[in-house]
């Protein structure tokens, strides 16, 4: 059974211009890090010209489908019926993207099939993780 889910999504970058620019992005989930999801933007879609990857809680993404969630670098909220807004806050500025909520729901369903919500802790290998930390110490 696969341990990784990758799902391309179309993100619309909210900018000062009246038309939102579409940019490619990919949602990632790895059962070896069961509480987290990643959203990656390829180099051509970023101001820096390098791939940018944000990691945040899977639960934040799920809860953000229903209401405003997040108080830190990543915030998620619904926007109308069919879109989800994800805000990425960094010292350089804030990026706001809209994603089709159906894509987010489909991604979360796939992650739940791989690791059911509430059972993430069963994927953790704390002995191995502790050994890795001690090895590096």
Q: Are 13 and 20 in contact (CB under 8 A)?
A: yes
Please state the pTM of the whole predicted model.
Answer: 0.81
The 52-57 sheet, strands edge to edge: 52-57, 36-41, 21-30, 4-14, 93-100, 83-90, 74-79
Q: Which pLDDT belongs to residue 93?
A: 82
Q: Which pLDDT belongs to residue 97?
A: 93
CA atoms within 13 A on the CB side of 84: 25
Summarize pLDDT for 91-129 with one digit per residue, the tens: 888 889 999 999 999 999 999 998 878 656 556 665 666
Query: Which residue positions in the chain have pLDDT lower than 50?
Result: 16
Reported residue count of the chain is 137
- Give the C-alpha separation, 1 to 3, whole Å: 7
Q: Which pLDDT belongs to residue 49?
A: 81
């Amino acid at each position: 059974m696969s341990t990784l889910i990758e799902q391309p999504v179309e993100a619309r970058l909210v900018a000062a211009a009246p038309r939102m620019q579409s940019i490619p992005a990919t949602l990632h989930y790895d059962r070896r890090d069961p509480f987290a999801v990643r959203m990656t933007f390829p180099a051509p879609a970023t101001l820096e010209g390098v791939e940018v990857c944000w990691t945040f809680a899977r639960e934040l993404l799920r809860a953000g489908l229903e209401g405003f969630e997040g108080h830190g670098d990543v915030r998620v909220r619904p926007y109308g019926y069919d879109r989800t807004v994800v805000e990425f806050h960094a010292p350089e500025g804030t990026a706001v993207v809209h994603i089709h909520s159906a894509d987010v729901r489909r991604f979360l369903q796939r992650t739940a099939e791989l690791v059911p919500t509430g059972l993430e802790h069963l994927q953790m290998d704390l002995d191995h993780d502790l050994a890795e930390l001690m090895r590096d110490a």
